[in-house]
């Protein structure tokens, strides 16, 4: 069966399989190519007749992941100009009033797309949710603070996509007043940004941050400094016209080279203090505190603006940073002698290693490093967001994904919870190992569906007195009050 619906731009044809109708690669904005790459998104032009929406659309220019990471999660790279597109899965395009979830992919704001197998929305649609996954501008295209171009173009794309959802989702059976946004990694950071932004009012009613944080935003002057570095590297002036004349591969090569240079020499005087502190010397292109999209770091806005609280799930994996240290070989180079140096690089007092090490007597220095940076980059901020949202009176639910991957050394690493959330384990064995527990996928996926349907995932709320965090694990999950509180308290005191 090939269902046809009408959306902004014209009619589209999808495909129905096993009771789920999918519409893939649907443009929600005009193609941002040439000079338009550095302008705000605009309405997609009308097309004649019925447009096929049967295959994934183009992706924003990006390089493949390095081989060790590519082996775990693959890479993205579908050529084409119409890379501002959405995928929609629905159980009933002729229905009405269904809850809607909008997925924002991760990739450090420089990689990723909505075309990945572990983001397949069929499982959500099977269970009564209309699932939308979006693409947005990445890297230089989306986040370089080019002197005469609008800032935060990638976030403006996300806002534009959410307006498209509000205007079109009824055509797929969805309710525009029952929208939950969710995302992982940079997608989770994007969700926090959208929660904090005054421009997002009315575009969603609930939110989920997976393995993100609320600190990934930089000052305008630092972002301008980095854009100037890019322009100098490319031999152009720092203008939208000059950047717009470059081909996608020129932009990709320049942003890759700059990222490598920043990681090898994370000097705040050169790159800007907020880029090094809030990007942890890893991410170079981030949302900008521009006074329009963002008034401050999301974590600070949400603490100061209780009116922006919404029903909220927030959490991370127990060993996020092992994803970045084990497969890349970084872990092998962290010894008792080098650990103090690498902690200092991240602005952390090396004495903190004694506390984490004492709590993990069998841990190697690399294990201790991964535990500390997991908390520094993810867990501490995650719980800060939970506290602020709960203090504002909105239903708030915190979680930690603790099941360790079957791939040796990864543990409960970054990205690992995503195929469980989507109930898409079959396409994730390179990350999970060959025998991931389906029962855990049933549990966490059902919790996300329940939250989308009625705002309660089925575990106790996070409150200031109890501080309950749902620990997802197999064979049993359970809420725990303020897990590893001594480590977080010591971390907050030690960060310079």
Please list the active-site residues.
Answer: 185, 320, 414
CA 492 to chain centre: 24
465, 431 in Cβ contact below 8 A? no
Strand partners, 313: 208, 397
Within 197-332, residue ranges assigned H as helices are 220-234, 240-244, 248-264, 268-271, 273-279, 298-304, 322-325
Could you give the CA distance from residue 389 to residue 214 in angstroms, rounded to a whole number?
12
Could you give the CA distance from residue 208 to residue 197 in angstroms, rounded to a whole number?
15
CA 270 to each of CA 227, 237, 470: distance values in angstroms, whole numbers, following the listed order:
12, 19, 41
Both tokens assigned to 449: 């569906």
Using CA of residue 269, residue 272, residue 277, residue 280, what is the dihedral sign?
negative
Could you give the CA distance from residue 99 to residue 453 in angstroms, rounded to a whole number?
6
Strand partners, 454: none
Is the preceding peptide bond at 453 cis, omega within 30 degrees of 0?
no
* C-alpha torsion 281→283→287→291, nearest 10: 10
Length of the chain equals 496
Could you give the CA distance from residue 300 to residue 215 in angstroms, rounded to a whole number?
8
* DSSP-derived 3-state class of residue 150: coil
206, 312 in Cβ contact below 8 A? yes
Say which residue the tokens 């990471």 belong to: 69
Q: Which residues contact 493 (CB under 8 A, 6 or more apart)?
A: none
Say which residue the tokens 């170079």 belong to: 284
Strand partners, 135: none
319, 367 in Cβ contact below 8 A? no
DSSP 56-92: -----S-PPPPHHHHHHH-------S--SEEEEEES-
Kindly report the number of other CB atoms within 10 A of residue 231's CB atom.
19
**Phi, psi values for residue 66, rounded to 5°:** -60, 150
């Amino acid at each position: 069966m090939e269902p046809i619906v009408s959306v902004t731009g014209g009619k589209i044809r999808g495909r129905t399989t096993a009771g789920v109708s999918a519409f893939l690669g649907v443009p929600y904005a005009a193609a941002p190519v040439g000079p338009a790459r550095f302008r705000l998104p605009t309405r997609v032009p009308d097309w004649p007749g019925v447009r096929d929406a049967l295959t994934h659309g183009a992706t924003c220019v990006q390089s493949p992941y390095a081989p060790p990471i590519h082996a775990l999660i693959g890479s993205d790279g579908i050529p084409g100009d119409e890379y501002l597109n959405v995928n929609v899965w629905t159980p009933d395009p002729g229905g009405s009033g269904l809850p809607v979830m909008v997925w924002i992919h991760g990739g450090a704001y420089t990689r990723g797309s909505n075309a990945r197998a572990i983001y397949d929305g069929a499982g959500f649609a099977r269970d009564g949710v209309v699932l939308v996954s979006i693409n947005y501008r990445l890297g230089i295209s989306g986040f370089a603070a080019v002197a005469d171009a609008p800032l935060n173009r990638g976030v403006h794309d996300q806002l534009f996509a959410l307006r498209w959802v509000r205007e079109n989702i009824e055509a797929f059976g969805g309710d525009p007043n029952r929208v939950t946004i969710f995302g992982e990694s940079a997608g989770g950071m994007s969700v926090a940004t959208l929660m904090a932004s005054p421009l997002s009012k009315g575009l969603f009613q609930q939110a989920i941050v997976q393995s993100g944080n609320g600190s990934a935003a930089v000052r305008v002057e630092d972002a301008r400094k980095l854009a100037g570095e890019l322009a100098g590297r490319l031999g152009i002036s720092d203008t939208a016209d000059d950047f717009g004349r470059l081909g996608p591969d020129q932009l990709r090569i320049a942003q890759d080279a700059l990222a490598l240079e920043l990681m090898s020499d994370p000097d705040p005087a050169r790159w800007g203090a907020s880029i090094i502190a809030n990007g942890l010397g890893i991410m170079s292109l981030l949302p900008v505190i521009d006074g329009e999209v963002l008034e401050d770091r999301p974590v600070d806005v949400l603490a100061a603006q209780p009116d922006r609280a919404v029903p909220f799930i927030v959490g991370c994996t127990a060993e996020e940073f092992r994803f970045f240290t084990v497969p890349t070989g970084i872990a092998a180079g962290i010894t008792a002698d080098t650990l103090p140096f690498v902690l200092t690089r991240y602005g952390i007092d090396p004495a903190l290693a004694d506390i984490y090490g004492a709590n993990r007597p069998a841990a190697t220095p690399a294990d201790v490093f991964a535990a500390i940076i997991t908390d520094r980059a993810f867990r501490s901020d995650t719980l800060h967001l939970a506290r602020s949202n709960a203090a504002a009176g909105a239903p708030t639910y915190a979680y930690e994904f603790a099941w360790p991957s079957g791939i040796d050394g990864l543990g409960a690493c970054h990205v690992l919870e995503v195929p469980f959330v989507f109930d898409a384990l079959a396409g994730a064995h390179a990350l999970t190992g060959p025998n991931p527990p389906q029962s855990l996928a049933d549990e966490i996926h059902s919790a996300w569906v329940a939250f989308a349907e009625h705002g309660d995932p089925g575990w106790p709320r996070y409150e200031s007195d109890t501080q309950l965090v749902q620990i997802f694990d197999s064979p049993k999950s359970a809420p725990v009050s303020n897990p590893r509180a001594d480590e977080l308290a010591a971390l907050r005191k030690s960060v310079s």
